[in-house]
A and B are shown apart, each in its own frame.
Chain A
């Protein structure tokens, strides 16, 4: 608890972090029998000190403290500033309790609105990740194994260029394309395939398409990097032994690219589940995405502890998903981080 008695502690933290990294640099694990220069000899003392201090500050202030702060806050009650640190400021589970049992809009015993939004978000993000994989795999395979270098460069440019545009602008562009008077509906109506415009936004189709599009590059690059390292002779060998194309993909390419697939899917999943712009812009009136609810906890309800609890729940779900994927794929964290 960062109350008045806790303040000196926060000044000790950077010192502690630096000390930890200093010790790690000093007693670097080395392979047996290899005589390697120490961390300080390799980099020179000034650079070594800079690296240790920079890494310590970065990991402390960018990663550890914000997360710790949010976790800590999620266990505190919502109080007016004057009462913070006072006798009522005690650790409590009420924010997590609210996620399951509380409600502001209905008299149900269980907070179905938020729980549904949470699981829908997780489920939809999963679908977005899988859909993205299905969409990106053929392209990544083409770029990594089939296309000539000049063609690959051209395709990469085509892939990257749209991302020069701001994410929110891109989301609005999707809203325009998918609106009832938008390009897609005009084409469908013009061709006579439908009698009246399809409500892409109300049915969340625009949202899923927008999310899929927003994080496509993550998937493409993860897959491309993995498939590119596959020796083309392996594909030819399988073909030569009589394998049909689907067999080569299912038993040669995909097992080889498994770490890339896992890292692409987990990235897209986590980014979709945590996405804010696309659900805000592309979400229909009835759509339930968890991040806007989370956002509202902070900035509409002004209930930061509750927002922190919601954010922590989402983080736990994402971390569990990554661990599950690793377990299912029999992969180590190091493999998908490559």
Chain B
């Protein structure tokens, strides 16, 4: 099966600045694919290159196997949902949704039928006559999706469309987006800097940094098996201890850091003497117990969030180490400044090149 979107050695330069460096990637038919990365990592540039608003400096983009070079955004089988949605304020909801069909010269009767269908899909059946300004944030979001779906694109591109919404609505819209994607079966390419969005919605995620793709995989892959230090620290919370590898035994390695000798999994088979970082997730950290690796310091902060509590410990070298406890804690939190210790198991710790 041909890929829905194939990015082949894509490079985009703005003057001297290289926004995207030699990226190659295949996105499957019907997939919910996310580009995750900090702002300025080049993810929006890739999206604009796929939609046709940005010409590649080098490389080729194929959609459904067809080379898109020289084909304008209005000729591509893609539809883009803008960060600010860019709904047309002077048109009604129905006119917005029907715009792409009107441009294509679809007869009014067919257009109306399609618009009704889409209004139904986004649960705004009787709101077609409304003006855009009369809608709530979430409704606008859904209208933008319907407007893009109306032209029956092969690929729907979404540029951080949820970033303007408040937290509750954002979480609700995640589920809604995912549900709509399942129903219509269109390939979604989603851009976000919010790892929660990427993890909950995506079939696969490409984590990007400085114009390059660090890792591609499903949510569990990038969270549990990060391949680079950047992925380990960007996706989810992580404690990182940088040092030099001093000993290797089997798939484990010992690393000399400023908080002591620590042992973790050496999946990358780094040799002795390599500068590396050991990552351990806050939720894998045990509080007040002794284990394979032990850290001690003074209690700095306890952030209580109901379901979880984040304990911060100040280590002897001044670095902050976080442990996340779930459920009701077994005992009282230590008072600020008192001596505490964290422990973690070797199989939970990952050593990656620094």
Instruction: Give the chain B neighbours of A237 by CB distance below 8 A.
Output: 80, 82, 86-88
Q: Which residues of A contact B80 (CB under 8 A)?
A: 236-237, 240
The interface-forming segment of B96-104, B281-289, B319-327 is B96-104
Residue of A nearest to B104 (CB): A242
Interface residues of B in 139-169 (CB under 8 A from A): 147-148, 151
B residues within 8 A CB of A88?
A: none
The answer to whether A236 and B74 touch across the interface, beta carbons within 8 angstroms, is no
Interchain CB contact under 8 A, B86 and A236: yes
Say which size band chain B's interface belongs to: 20 to 34
Q: Would A233 and B86 be within 8 Å (CB), given that A240-B73, A242-B151, A243-B74 are in contact?
A: yes
Give CA–CA (A256, B89) in the complex, Å.
9
A231 to B51 CA separation, bound complex (whole angstroms):
18
- Assess whether A293 is interfacial by the CB under 8 Å rule: no
* Closest-CB distance, B14 to chain A (whole angstroms): 13
Q: Which residues of B contact A233 (CB under 8 A)?
A: 82-84, 86
User: Are A241 and B84 in contact (CB-based, < 8 A)?
Assistant: no
- Interface check B36, CB cutoff 8 A: no
Chain B residue numbers with a CB within 8 Å of A244 are: 74, 103
- Chain A residues with Cβ below 8 Å from B75 are 242
Which chain A residues lie closer than 8 Å to B78 at the CB level? 240
Is there contact, CB below 8 Å, between B79 and A240? Answer: yes
Contacts of A241 in B (CB 8 A): 74, 79, 99-100, 103, 147-148, 151
What is the bound-complex CA distance between A298 and B126, given in angstroms?
Answer: 65
A43 close to chain B: CB less than 8 A: no
Query: A-contacting residues of B (Cβ < 8 Å)?
Result: 51-53, 72-75, 78-80, 82-84, 86-90, 99-100, 103-104, 147-148, 151
What are 26 A-B pairs with beta-carbon distances under 8 A?
A231-B86, A233-B83, A233-B84, A234-B88, A236-B73, A236-B86, A237-B87, A238-B88, A239-B73, A239-B74, A240-B51, A240-B52, A240-B74, A240-B80, A242-B74, A242-B75, A242-B100, A242-B104, A242-B151, A243-B99, A243-B100, A243-B103, A244-B103, A252-B88, A255-B90, A256-B90
The 5 closest A-B pairs by CB, nearest first: A241-B100, A233-B86, A237-B86, A243-B103, A240-B80
Binding site for B on A (CB under 8 A): 231, 233-234, 236-244, 247, 252, 255-256
